[in-house]
Amino acid sequence: MLLNQPRLLERMADLQLDAVVATAPENVTYLSGFWALSQWIRRGPQVYVVWPAVGKGVPEIITSTSTLDLVADQIPWVSNVRRYGDFHVEVDPGMAEDPVDQRHIALRDAPAYRDALMALVTSLAEQGLTAARIAIDETGLEPSHMGELKMRLPNITWVPAAGLFRAVRAVKTEEEIDRLRQVAQISERSIQAALAVAREGARELDLARAFHIQTIKDGGFPVLGCIGFGERSALANVQPSERRLRAGEIIRFDVGGRYQHYRADIARNAVLGAAPPEARRLHHALLRGVQHACEIIRPGMSAAGLFEEVTNVVQKEGIAHYKRDHVGHGIGLDGYDAPSLSVRSNDTLEEGMVLCIETPYYEIGRWGLQVEDMIVVRRDGAERLMMTDGNLMEVPS
Amino acid sequence: MLLNQPRLLERMADLQLDAVVATAPENVTYLSGFWALSQWIRRGPQVYVVWPAVGKGVPEIITSTSTLDLVADQIPWVSNVRRYGDFHVEVDPGMAEDPVDQRHIALRDAPAYRDALMALVTSLAEQGLTAARIAIDETGLEPSHMGELKMRLPNITWVPAAGLFRAVRAVKTEEEIDRLRQVAQISERSIQAALAVAREGARELDLARAFHIQTIKDGGFPVLGCIGFGERSALANVQPSERRLRAGEIIRFDVGGRYQHYRADIARNAVLGAAPPEARRLHHALLRGVQHACEIIRPGMSAAGLFEEVTNVVQKEGIAHYKRDHVGHGIGLDGYDAPSLSVRSNDTLEEGMVLCIETPYYEIGRWGLQVEDMIVVRRDGAERLMMTDGNLMEVPS
């Protein structure tokens, strides 16, 4: 299961919640296993998951009739489904022998509510949660809905839930870690595929296309593809352009797709031909920063302390003026999960967190270098999810 | 320009607005030309565009310091930029001869606000918009921000803007239409690439990968890829699986990527080998519905009237029981732009609207068939953006 259920229940108890309601796509998928296409590719479509505290009711998915085919095909672990809205299909029950079709037909047999809000109000009311304390994820809810909910359920105490979900999602289950390992390694193979087309005169766009095509071949879906050459490697968000590669130039990758809805975010660097000694020196310091993080990470360590250690190492190992706001972040269904590895962070590392550890260095007009690895915080230290070592690569020119 | 500026100003005058504020990614890109990676791949990062009425001020982008490289590289038509937050880069002005770098450095020279909200408050205050009537796009704003804005700018009358933006975006500029034509045709070529791997025993996943790879080769980015075989073609949102193709089965595509941020959404059908006569008959009726829409579409026609005409034709041409809620929708930066071609729609077709006209038919347990074309409403009728005719295709088995 993706959901870290003990952690959710513990946080709910701490906050004395009678229920939580997920509304944003990440939280809906996390809480139920249900991936509703429409809300992942657009903003607007409303899908909710209601998760009552133990003894207070049964978890429920609330989704539109038009998405019931996905429920039937995915079999999410939350099996109670309340539907809203019309969506016409022809059904000849005699013909529908496939188990997906049978589940689909059964799901359509339930009554349809007029809209998502009415379905949510009824769900809470039927479970006796009309005078309850409920955390609702404010980030996926249609803006006008909060006012209507307060009007229709005036005795509920509403608490914002986005922060709660981020906190629960920060510690991954093994199933999540498996997906994150897969997507990290898909992204590494995609970098190799991009470097296979790197030659004098190749465009950033050529490498980006090779990158994304490999991601698709490996079962992933493209998301992030910052690939820049030479002076463009210093643009943090560089979008691949017609810029052509020349010998001796840096190629910086800050990239990562999705695999089974989980994100990668990794960074690697290469040079066409022999690396300039100065680039090699800077890169060594950045790599040492990430390596040091992997050496010292333990559950219980403060994120701000880790930040301090990593920047110190980069400074000592060769970039005395190295300055950063953060050296990484969690990753999961969202590309920036908790914790934040920043100077101002109050987070503490916990066993099971998956982190991107990164030491980017941008020198406008010259080059950008960045090492970023994905790791799991284990009881006895960091487990790297990577196949490659992060060294500066030299591509034959 | 993507923005239909006359239409925006006209609507603003109708609503007696002193300014509009865009917050959701589609509306930020639409209003300014600025595409901010972070807000397109995640929910949360705050980017705004303030657009005052004529004579009331100057349009401004509000974005984080970390995204200024994208502003410098893209040169959006809104050139005033207010930044917030820190993001450290090294700058050696002597080395930065590239024009992108020079713009980047100039953008970083402006003072940084503490956060997005402070930058927005200051922007409105400096333009003298503290006692104004302002429409703000409620869909991209962080939920807690609206309350803070009301507190800090108590004399502003705030109006929700998401509906206004949808209404303005509904009538496309020629630059938008060019992009929509490109992405429609990329999607058609991607269907051809998918059918090139269709043979007995091929998986839905094999066709989906070939589809997305072609989209990337043609400069697009994958989004929608519903591809189902046989009984799975009847699942409206079918996600490609290990299901293998057998002779005589329907392949339904409901697909479309992005190209320069603009979406495609088209549908086509094929059969491995000879098409069953009944599939051919049903498909003909669906195709006739779409063709009829293309024949009769004119500016001034009601969307509900078009819905009526299309469903009538499908019924007369062979599916007497045909029942739908809508027969299409607008398309642009969002996959579902205005207008809605539904039975309950109050929209009227206007010159320059780009529409998806669709006649899906889902028969659970048996098959799904769907024709969906993208067209432009021109003064004298529909201009199809498609290269292919929408006929049921037979793939040699």
Each of the 397 residues of chain B gets a pLDDT tens digit; together they read: 999 999 999 999 999 999 999 999 999 999 999 999 999 999 999 999 999 999 999 999 999 999 999 999 999 999 999 999 999 999 976 777 899 999 999 999 999 999 999 999 999 999 999 999 999 999 999 888 999 999 999 999 999 999 999 999 999 999 999 999 999 999 999 999 999 999 999 999 999 999 999 999 999 999 999 999 999 999 999 999 999 999 999 999 999 999 999 999 999 999 999 999 999 999 999 999 999 999 999 999 999 999 999 999 999 999 999 999 999 999 999 999 999 999 999 999 999 999 999 999 999 999 999 999 999 999 999 999 999 999 999 999 8
- In angstroms, the separation between the Cα of residue A273 and the nearest Cα of chain B is 22
Report residue A347's pLDDT band, with 50, 70 and 90 as the boundaries: very high
A213 vs A207, A208, A222, CA distance in Å?
A: 10, 9, 8
What three-state secondary structure class fits A25? helix
A390, A293 Cβ separation under 8 angstroms: no
Q: Which residue has the tokens 């990577």?
A: A386
Q: Which residues of chain A lie closer than 8 angstroms to B101, CB-CB?
A: 231, 234, 364-365
- Same domain for A114 and A191, yes or no, is no
Residue B311: which of B247, B270, B357 has the closest Cα? B357
Residue B242: which of A263, A333, A219, A105 has the closest Cα? A219
Q: Which residues of chain B lie closer than 8 angstroms to A236, CB-CB?
A: 66, 69, 87, 89
> How many domains are contained in chain B?
2
The pLDDT assigned to B397 comes to 84
Name the maximum alpha-carbon separation found in chain B: 74
Which domain does A250 fall in, by range? 174-395
The pLDDT assigned to A117 comes to 97
- How far apart (Å, rounded) are the C-alpha atoms in residues B297 and B110? 50
- Listed by number, the residues of chain A in 293-332 with a beta carbon closer than 8 Å to a beta carbon of chain B are 321, 323-325
- Same domain for B125 and B206, yes or no, is no
The pLDDT assigned to B93 comes to 67
What's the pLDDT tens digit per position in A215-269? Answer: 999 999 999 999 999 999 999 999 999 999 999 999 999 999 999 999 999 999 9
Q: How many CB atoms sit inside 10 A of residue A69's CB? A: 30
A37 vs A28, A262, B371, CA distance in Å?
A: 12, 15, 20
- Same domain for A102 and A184, yes or no, is no
What's the pLDDT tens digit per position in B76-123? Answer: 999 999 999 999 999 976 777 899 999 999 999 999 999 999 999 999
The pLDDT assigned to B95 comes to 75
- Same domain for B162 and B180, yes or no, is no
Q: Of the candidates A144, A169, A194, which is a domain's last residue?
A: A169
- How far apart (Å, rounded) are the C-alpha atoms in residues B355 and B236? 19
Q: Which residue has the tokens 């700058």?
A: B91
The enclosing domain of A109 has a CATH number of 3.40.350.10
How much of chain B, in percent, has pLDDT values that exceed 90?
97
- Same domain for A111 and A192, yes or no, is no
Of B43, B100, B239, the CB nearest to A24: B43
The pLDDT assigned to B390 comes to 97
Q: Of the candidates B169, B199, B227, which is a domain's last residue?
A: B169
One-letter amino acid identity for B83?
R
- Listed by number, the residues of chain A in 38-57 with a beta carbon closer than 8 Å to a beta carbon of chain B are 38, 41-44
Q: Of the candidates B138, B169, B200, which is a domain's last residue?
A: B169
- How far apart (Å, rounded) are the C-alpha atoms in residues B101 and A235? 9
- Same domain for B126 and B235, yes or no, is no
What's the pLDDT tens digit per position in A161-185? Answer: 999 999 999 999 999 999 999 999 9
The pLDDT assigned to B94 comes to 76
Secondary structure (DSSP) of A279-337: HHHHHHHHHHHHHHHHHH--TT-BHHHHHHHHHHHHHHTT-TT---SEEEEE-SSSSSE
Q: Is the dihedral of CA B58, B63, B65, B67 positive or negative?
A: negative
What's the pLDDT tens digit per position in B51-80? Answer: 999 999 999 999 999 999 999 999 999 999
Q: Is the dihedral of CA B31, B33, B36, B39 positive or negative?
A: positive
Tokens describing residue A105: 């037909």
* N-to-C CA span, chain B: 47
The average pLDDT across A129-144 equals 94
- How far apart (Å, rounded) are the C-alpha atoms in residues B362 and A66? 11
- Same domain for A148 and A196, yes or no, is no
B275 vs A397, B227, B245, B342, B397, CA distance in Å?
A: 53, 18, 14, 31, 11
CB contact under 8 A, A70 and B365: no
Which ipTM did the prediction report?
Answer: 0.97
User: Which residue does chain A place closest to B101, by CA atoms?
Assistant: A365
Q: State whether residue A69 sits within 8 Å of chain B by CB.
A: yes
The pLDDT assigned to A282 comes to 98
CB contact under 8 A, A92 and B325: no
In b/e form, how buried is each residue of A10-31, taking b as 16+ CB within 10 angstroms?
ebbeeeebbbbbbbbbbbbbbb
- Same domain for A178 and A117, yes or no, is no
- Same domain for B162 and B265, yes or no, is no
The mean of the pLDDT values for chain A is 97
In b/e form, how buried is each residue of A47-56, taking b as 16+ CB within 10 angstroms?
bbbbbbbeee
User: Which residue does chain A place closest to B71, by CA atoms?
Assistant: A237
| pLDDT above 70 (res A272) | yes
Q: Which residue has the tokens 């998956």?
A: A354
Q: State whether residue A70 sits within 8 Å of chain B by CB.
A: yes
The pLDDT assigned to A93 comes to 67
The enclosing domain of A284 has a CATH number of 3.90.230.10
Burial class of residue A96, CB neighbours in 10 A (0-12, 13-18, 19+): buried
The pLDDT assigned to A335 comes to 97
Tokens describing residue B62: 């509000």
- Same domain for A156 and A262, yes or no, is no
CB contact under 8 A, A364 and B89: yes
- Same domain for A85 and A178, yes or no, is no
CB contact under 8 A, A237 and B144: no
Report residue A143's pLDDT band, with 50, 70 and 90 as the boundaries: confident
Burial class of residue A377, CB neighbours in 10 A (0-12, 13-18, 19+): buried
How much of chain A, in percent, has pLDDT values that exceed 70?
100
Q: State whether residue A96 sits within 8 Å of chain B by CB.
A: yes
Q: Which residues of chain A lie closer than 8 angstroms to B213, CB-CB?
A: 213, 216-217
Vertex A194, ends A189 and A195: CA angle to 5°? 95
CB pairs under 8 A between A and B: 189
- How far apart (Å, rounded) are the C-alpha atoms in residues A119 and A393? 55
- Same domain for A336 and A313, yes or no, is yes
Of A37, A143, A217, the CB nearest to B139: A143
B294, B363 Cβ separation under 8 angstroms: no
